[in-house]
Amino acid sequence: MMNMLKKMPKIAFLPVVASVAALVIAALAFPAAALALECARQDVPPAGTLTAPAAGQAGQEREFFVREYLIGPGDLLEIKVFELAELNQKVRVSQDGSITLPLIGSVKVGGMTKDGVERLLAQLLEAKYLKNAQVSVFILEYLSNRVAVIGAVEKPGMYELVGRKSLLQMISQAGGLKENAANEIYVLREGQDGQTSSLAINLEDLVINGNPRLNVPLQPNDVVNVPVDRLITIYVFGEVKQPGALQVKKSMKITLLQAIAQAGGTTEDAARGSITVTRKDRTGKETKIKANLKDIIKGRKPNIQLVEGDVIYVPASIF
């Protein structure tokens, strides 16, 4: 049997997602109305960053985001005080949400907007040092509002979540998906109770079918995990037109019908009711699964999900 398998030609099984990186870019043009419905379903206000904004709109959205953004640990602030140059500096917000400035000392700014910090610093300065203090705060880095993209993307790393961004937009920002990306990706999100939930996203449904419900808006500290897929081998021989080895992504979950179709279908002499699937477990023990192709096609029997190393044999009819 091993000699037979070695002589068999390999049949390349092309996954449905053939050029997924390019499709991700194309998928960014989902209808705005559909995305708005998805945002409404999740109780998330629709925002222009989920679609291509009109000229001038992007600037307005960023201005609104900066004004409403709540400062948090890791953010880098640039502070300027008119007529008090010694306070002009860049400071990083500590893990407890505070910054330390000359003359003023430690100041809690976590959870405040930039306008709120400006007013607070002005009040502290006016209490001891200046009249009508004029303070400007600029947020240089939004480290407390980031999303991690890991796994089979071109540029894995941490990305600023400036405004509302969808899953596809963030994947696109990370350079798109690699060819070895699995067909199922995950969005990991930590809840207020500290528990992490996982949302599974079917890549084919998201990119190929354009399902807007799967293009979820991301939140700060989300982790987008794109698992690295691997190829598995399924063997098909006997009365099929192209016997050989099929290679398929593990995440694509190939079935018996799909495998026989990839082998060119059965010949006229095939005994379609007497197909055998030979499967080995981890100990090497073989199990033989009988299958009637006619019953499966007609829906009378369930299709068989194949696993790595399965050997399909289609015998010849004795009549």
Gyration radius of the chain's alpha carbons: 29
Q: Are residues 182 and 36 in the same domain?
A: yes
Q: Residue 26's domain is classified under what CATH number?
A: 3.10.560.10
Q: Are residues 259 and 216 in the same domain?
A: no
Task: Report if residue 287 sits inside a domain.
Answer: yes
Give CA separation, 71 vs 76, 121, 237, in Å: 9, 14, 63
Q: Are residues 172 and 28 in the same domain?
A: yes
Q: Are residues 75 and 194 in the same domain?
A: no
At 262, is the secondary structure helix, strand, or coil?
Answer: helix
Task: Report if residue 52 sits inside a domain.
Answer: no
Q: Are residues 132 and 102 in the same domain?
A: yes
Q: Are residues 168 and 221 in the same domain?
A: yes
Q: Are residues 149 and 174 in the same domain?
A: yes
Give the β-pairing of 231-238 and 311-314.
parallel
Q: Are residues 215 and 195 in the same domain?
A: yes
Is the four-CA dihedral 157, 161, 165, 169 of positive or negative sign?
negative
Query: Which residues are registered as beta bridge partners of 153?
Result: 177
Domain count, the chain: 3
CB of 183 within 8 A of CB of 232? no
Of 141, 167, 185, at which residue does a domain stop?
Answer: 141
Task: Report if residue 48 sits inside a domain.
Answer: no
Whether pTM exceeds 0.75: no
Q: Residue 122's domain is classified under what CATH number?
A: 3.30.1950.10
Q: Are residues 29 and 76 in the same domain?
A: no
Q: Are residues 248 and 104 in the same domain?
A: no
Residues 192-215: pLDDT tens digits? Answer: 777 888 999 998 899 888 888 899
Q: Are residues 208 and 151 in the same domain?
A: yes
pLDDT of residue 80: 93
pLDDT in tens, the chain (319 residues): 334 433 444 444 334 333 433 333 333 333 333 333 333 343 333 333 323 334 344 455 566 667 777 888 888 999 999 888 888 999 999 989 999 988 889 999 988 999 999 999 999 998 888 888 899 999 888 777 789 999 999 999 988 887 678 899 999 999 999 988 988 999 998 877 778 889 999 988 998 888 888 998 888 889 999 999 888 999 999 999 999 999 988 887 899 999 999 999 999 999 999 999 999 988 889 999 999 999 999 999 999 999 999 999 999 987 6
Of 163, 193, 226, at which residue does a domain stop?
Answer: 226
Q: Are residues 301 and 251 in the same domain?
A: yes
Residues 106-158: pLDDT tens digits? Answer: 999 988 999 999 999 999 998 888 888 899 999 888 777 789 999 999 999 98
Can you give the residue range of the structural domain that contains 274? 230-314
